Amino acid sequence: MTTMLRQKGVLTNLAAWASFGLLMTGLAHAQQTPSTPTDPARPAASPGPTNNVRPAMKWKRFDYTCEDSAKITVYVHNTTAKVRTHDQIYLMRQTRSADGNRYSDGKVLWWGKGDTGFLQEDTPDGDGKMLAKGCTLDKSRDARKP
The residue-averaged pLDDT of 27-49 equals 59
Write down the CATH superfamily of domain 60-139.
Answer: C-type lysozyme inhibitor (2.40.128.200)
The residue-averaged pLDDT of 19-42 equals 57
Determine the pLDDT at residue 28.
Answer: 57
Residue 70 CB-density burial (10 A; 0-12 exposed, 13-18 middle, 19+ buried):
middle
The answer for residues whose C-beta is within 8 angstroms of residue 91's C-beta and 6 or more apart is: 80, 81, 82, 105
Tell which wins on pLDDT, 86 or 22. 86
The answer for residues whose C-beta is within 8 angstroms of residue 138's C-beta and 6 or more apart is: 63, 64, 65
The residue-averaged pLDDT of 17-34 equals 56
Determine the pLDDT at residue 45.
Answer: 65
Q: What is the signed CA dihedral for 121, 115, 77, 141, rounded to 10 degrees?
A: -130
The answer for residues whose C-beta is within 8 angstroms of residue 137's C-beta and 6 or more apart is: 62, 63, 64, 115, 116, 117
Nearest Cα to 87, choosing from 132, 139, 133? 132
Query: Looking at the whole model, is its pTM more than 0.75?
Result: no
Give Cα 96 to chain centroid, integer Å. Answer: 27
Determine the pLDDT at residue 145.
Answer: 45
pLDDT in tens, 60-97: 999 999 999 999 999 999 999 999 999 999 999 999 98
pLDDT in tens, 109-130: 999 999 999 999 999 988 999 9
